[in-house]
Amino acid sequence: MTSHRSISRFLILISVSFLVTAGLPFTACRFAQAANPKRIKIVFWNEMTGPAQAQLTQFVQKFNHSQSKYEVESHFQGSYEEAVQKILNTHGSNASPALFQSADISVSQLYHSGYITKIQKFIDQDKQFNINKISPVARSFYSQKGQLLGMPFNSSQPVLYYNASLLKKYKITPPPLDPTYADVTRVATQLYQRSGKKVKGMTMEVYGWLFDQLVANSGHYSVNNENGRIATPSKATFINPGSIAAMKWVQDNIKKGNFINYGSGGNASANEIAAFLSGKLGIFMESSAEIGQLTLGMKNQKLGVSYYPHQTGKKANGVAIGGAALWIGNDKPAAVQQGAWTFIKYLESAQNQADWQKATGYLALNRDAKKTKTLQKLYQQNPALKVPSDQLARTVANNANSGIFVEGIVQERIILNTALDQIYSRSNIHTTLQQAEKAMNTYISNNNRANGWSN
């Protein structure tokens, strides 16, 4: 009897303590809310990690202190790919965010979901906000038919990095600011030969994004209907004069022995950067967002940065941005949406964009940011940091350098990675890209059928 009793007592104790602890967060929340009962809560989902997360948290805190009408609540939601699924699946429920960060790969998906309120609507209503201050090439990426869908926030562009100290050591003239394929091949070959084949000349990660950017810089399109900008795409156009020239350039360097392949994925870029920092690799192409890490890692060596390379004898068309934008869901009351818009404006101010670039390496999108002391000082300390910003500023937006407006970019990148891997193993460029096109076409036609855009 006694043991039975003590067991039941124990159970009661456990359940009581469980109830108490389970209730704690709710009480804590109530207190927090009670402090500002009139504030409108803006739930903001984001996918930032590391220094970017720290800076974003700082922005949220500063914004909440700067005014008393809105309270932004920032939630980290994992990777970009996972976040899109969560956003689509929670839409219309009270778990959905008012404001969310979603990546370049999800533009078409979010546009067609019908779950967002176009940022254009807020711009048109807000006479004080001058959208022309925001980088046109970044805006065109997140626009369709002249309407801005999401506000570009964390943006980067691909650039070419080279080890300037290493080139100096072997008496090699560095590549020009706007290099052609021939310029890069020249430097890579000289480096490989003059180092007694100890230093590899160049690499390009097996990464579909970099392929798409080479195509963009040549003024061609990865999918038809001008990258889906003038009509729903129906076919992949991986085979085009731009991609063929780019892949020939890569294979030429592979043949010469200049080129080293690190494969694909997070490990590949980590190994590529490790080799670059330790002076075993001369040139690589990657997002400008890596610049902070590289500057830190170079220590006694000098980092060289140039624009993304382009086809020899042709003018560079400019590259598209990568990264993510801020979106406002259409399942929240007008007052909440207005709060989200106010926070977006806050983040896009010249000073905040300058701070953002300094802390993260993402490019400041507000044109006035370069006038701030923050960026002027930064550029003075390290002129290399200015190169990506200049590349962004000089790019004239067109349909080739505004990203690919198609659902299933994740799929496209997987398909391209497979193709690149085969091309790096010296397989025939034309046949390989043809296979990739075929795989992407199946995906596009299925997706168009599923959306009711075709039969």
Partner 1 sequence: MDESKNIIHETRIPTLAENTGLFKKTKMRAQRTNRRYALLFLGPSILLLAVFIFYPMLKTIYLSLFLTNGSGHNTVFAGLGNYAALLSSPGYLASLMSTLIYVVGVWALTLALGLILANAASVKVRASSFFRTIFSSTMGVSISVSAIFWLFIFNPSIGILNQIAAFLHLPLLNWATDPNLAMISVIISTVWMNLGFAFLVLFSAFQSLPLSLYEETAIEGVGPVYRFFHVTIPLISPTLFFVSIITFIEAFKSFGLIDLMTAGGPNNATNLLVYHIYQNAFLNGNYSQASAESVILTIIIALLTFLQFRYLERKVSY
Which residues are at the interface with partner 1 (CB under 8 A)? 79, 81-82, 84-85, 88-89, 108-109, 112-115, 206, 262-268, 271, 274, 407-408, 410-411, 414-415, 417-418, 421, 435, 439, 442, 446-447, 449-452
Nearer to partner 1, 389 or 447 (CB): 447
Question: CB of 416 within 8 A of CB of 455?
Answer: no
Kindly state the DSSP code that residue 93 receives in the 8-state scheme. Answer: S
Residue 104 CB, nearest approach to partner 1 (Å): 15
Nearer to partner 1, 311 or 447 (CB): 447
Nearer to partner 1, 63 or 424 (CB): 424
Residue 412 CB, nearest approach to partner 1 (Å): 10
375, two tokens:
């960026």
302, two tokens:
């000098």
Nearer to partner 1, 407 or 437 (CB): 407
- Spell out where 252-319 has E strands: 281-287, 303-306
3-state SS assignment for residue 42: strand
Residue 265 CB, nearest approach to partner 1 (Å): 4
Question: CB of 115 within 8 A of CB of 335?
Answer: no
Nearer to partner 1, 155 or 261 (CB): 261
Which one-letter amino acid corresponds to residue 441? N
Nearer to partner 1, 53 or 435 (CB): 435
Residue 317 CB, nearest approach to partner 1 (Å): 28
- Give the bridge partners for 286, in sequence order: 159
| Residue 163 Rama label (left phi>0; alpha psi -120 to 50; beta) | beta
Nearer to partner 1, 112 or 194 (CB): 112
Residue 435 CB, nearest approach to partner 1 (Å): 7
Residue 9 CB, nearest approach to partner 1 (Å): 27
3-state SS assignment for residue 301: coil
Residue 329 CB, nearest approach to partner 1 (Å): 13
Tell me the angle at which helices 241-256 and 409-424 cross, rounded to the nearest 10 degrees. 40
3-state SS assignment for residue 223: strand
Residue 112 CB, nearest approach to partner 1 (Å): 5
Residue 135 CB, nearest approach to partner 1 (Å): 27
The candidate with the shortest Cα–Cα distance to 115, out of 145, 94, 146, 87, is 87
Q: Is the dihedral of CA 229, 230, 231, 233 positive or negative?
A: negative
State the DSSP string of 335-351.
Answer: HHHHHHHHHHHHHTSHH
Burial 286-320 (b: 16+ CB within 10 A, else e): bbbbbbbebbeebeebebbbbbbbbbeeeebbbbb
Kindly state the DSSP code that residue 180 receives in the 8-state scheme. Answer: B
Residue 91 CB, nearest approach to partner 1 (Å): 8
Residue 310 CB, nearest approach to partner 1 (Å): 27
Nearer to partner 1, 385 or 433 (CB): 433
Kindly state the DSSP code that residue 159 receives in the 8-state scheme. Answer: E
Nearer to partner 1, 80 or 170 (CB): 80
Nearer to partner 1, 264 or 311 (CB): 264
Say how far apart CA 366 and CA 368 lie, in whole Å. Answer: 5
Parallel, antiparallel or unpaired: strands 281-287 and 200-204: parallel
The DSSP H or E segment spanning 152 is: strand 151-156
Nearer to partner 1, 34 or 450 (CB): 450
Say how far apart CA 329 and CA 99 lie, in whole Å. Answer: 6
What are φ and ψ of residue 145, in 5° steps? Answer: 55, 45
